């Protein structure tokens, strides 16, 4: 049986060929899903992908000699109960692509000349941006990726670093033929955003920094991370994961938003001990980017939860002072994951910023 990556690529290529070479089949193609969302049951997921691919092939074969068939005469039995039907043609979700010897999982939604690319924090995945994707997808192309080793992106067991994450991002943009993008990163995603805008400034038209900072780890923090890594190697990561989950939320969220907390807990606990340790090492070894902030020349929005104790508000204020023309928005009753705890206010600030960019074009 073909792999998930192979099937996804076959499906996308076949759909493209149908659109380019068999326009008479478009009315049938538009009734079919654009892509197949990932299912937690891998064998079932591969079976669904294979079934969908076979349905596309059958569509071409069925209409090869009779392209005038109407939709009512279409005899295909597409397993719609197993497939989530997307609302628009370019609503690509849970796609996979190969970059730098690793497989990157990503969502690609909506239309627009300059996409907004979302980078999640440690140790989360792209699903943390669902609220922002839903808010922006109707008027923008938005992309969220699983960083190497996290979510559904594979890990080749190489040491992680901000440079490597950044190299993956640029290779990813190249693979999708994206010349320029708006980059939005939260926490570690912000570290990566600052890394790439320093090394590849020509690739980005705007910057959004969420609950993040430009400083490197102090010697004390670095030592604590190393101690945590040693503890994980000996005892596992469950204790760290639970402590981390509670540390990123506003105290009220832990009491009144238990479903949200549980959802993020599931994401964190899905990570292996190895990827948690590798991520902690990457955080400990990252370089400071504060000295480069004055060189940033693109519109910049900084968002921070007022009660963020992981990357405190003072760090956002520092970046705001050094990035010329930047905008700082502080969200009350939010900790380190302000986009999850106060999505309405977060989305309002983000949408206003993006709309201002579109207006100025």
**Residue 255 pLDDT greater than 50, yes or no:** yes
pTM, two decimals, is 0.76
**For the segment 310-326, what is each residue's pLDDT rounded down to a tens digit?**
999 999 999 999 999 99
Cis preceding-peptide flag for 123 (omega within 30 of 0):
yes
Among 103, 106, 101, which Cα is nearest to 116's? 106
41 against 204, higher pLDDT: 204
**For the segment 70-103, what is each residue's pLDDT rounded down to a tens digit?**
333 334 443 333 333 333 333 345 788 999 989 9
Return the structure tokens found at 317.
Answer: 């204020």
**For the segment 14-48, what is each residue's pLDDT rounded down to a tens digit?**
666 666 655 655 555 554 444 444 444 455 555 55
Helices (H) and strands (E) in the chain, counts: 14, 8
**Residue 338 pLDDT greater than 60, yes or no:** yes
Walk me through the domains of the chain, giving residue ranges and CATH numbers.
4-82 (no CATH), 92-219+275-360 (3.40.50.1820)
pLDDT level of residue 50 (50, 70, 90 thresholds): low
Helix, strand, or coil here: 221? helix
**Residue 120 pLDDT greater than 90, yes or no:** yes
Q: List phi, psi (to 5°) of 182.
A: -95, 130
| pLDDT of the residue at 158 | 79
- To which residue do tokens 């780890």 refer? 217
Q: Name the average pLDDT for the chain.
A: 84
| Contact of 273 with 319, CB cutoff 8 Å | no
**Residue 274 pLDDT greater than 80, yes or no:** yes
């Amino acid at each position: 049986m073909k792999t998930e990556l192979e099937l996804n690529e076959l499906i996308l290529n076949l759909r493209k060929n149908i659109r380019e070479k068999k326009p008479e089949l478009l009315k049938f193609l538009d009734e079919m899903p654009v892509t197949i969302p990932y299912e937690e049951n891998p064998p079932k997921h591969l079976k669904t992908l294979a079934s969908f691919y076979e349905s596309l092939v059958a569509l071409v074969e069925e209409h090869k000699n009779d392209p005038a068939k109407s939709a009512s005469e279409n005899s295909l039995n597409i397993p719609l109960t197993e497939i989530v039907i997307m609302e628009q043609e370019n609503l690509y979700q849970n796609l996979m692509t190969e970059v730098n010897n690793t497989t990157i999982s990503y969502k690609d939604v909506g239309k627009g000349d300059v996409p907004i690319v979302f980078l999640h924090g440690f140790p989360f995945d792209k699903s943390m941006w669902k609220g922002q994707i839903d808010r922006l997808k109707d008027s923008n192309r938005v992309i969220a990726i699983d960083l190497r080793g996290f979510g559904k992106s594979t890990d080749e067991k190489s040491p992680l670093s901000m440079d490597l994450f950044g190299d993956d991002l640029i290779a990813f943009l190249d693979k999708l033929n994206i010349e320029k993008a708006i980059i939005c990163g939260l926490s570690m995603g912000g570290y990566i955003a600052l890394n790439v805008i320093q090394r590849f400034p020509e690739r980005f038209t705007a910057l959004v920094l969420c609950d993040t900072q430009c400083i490197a780890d102090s010697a004390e923090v670095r030592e604590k991370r190393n101690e945590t890594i040693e503890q994980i190697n000996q005892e596992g990561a469950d204790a760290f994961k639970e402590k981390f989950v509670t540390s990123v939320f506003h105290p009220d969220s832990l009491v009144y938003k238990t479903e949200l907390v549980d959802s993020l807990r599931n994401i964190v606990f899905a990570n292996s001990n190895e990827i948690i340790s590798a991520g902690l090492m990457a955080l400990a070894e990252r370089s400071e980017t504060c000295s480069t902030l004055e060189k940033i020349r693109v519109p910049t929005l900084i968002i921070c939860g007022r009660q963020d104790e992981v990357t405190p508000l003072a760090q956002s204020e520092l970046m705001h002072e050094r990035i010329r023309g930047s905008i700082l928005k502080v969200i009350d009753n939010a900790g380190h994951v302000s986009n999850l705890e106060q999505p309405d206010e977060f989305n309002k600030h983000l949408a206003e910023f993006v709309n201002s960019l579109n207006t100025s074009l």
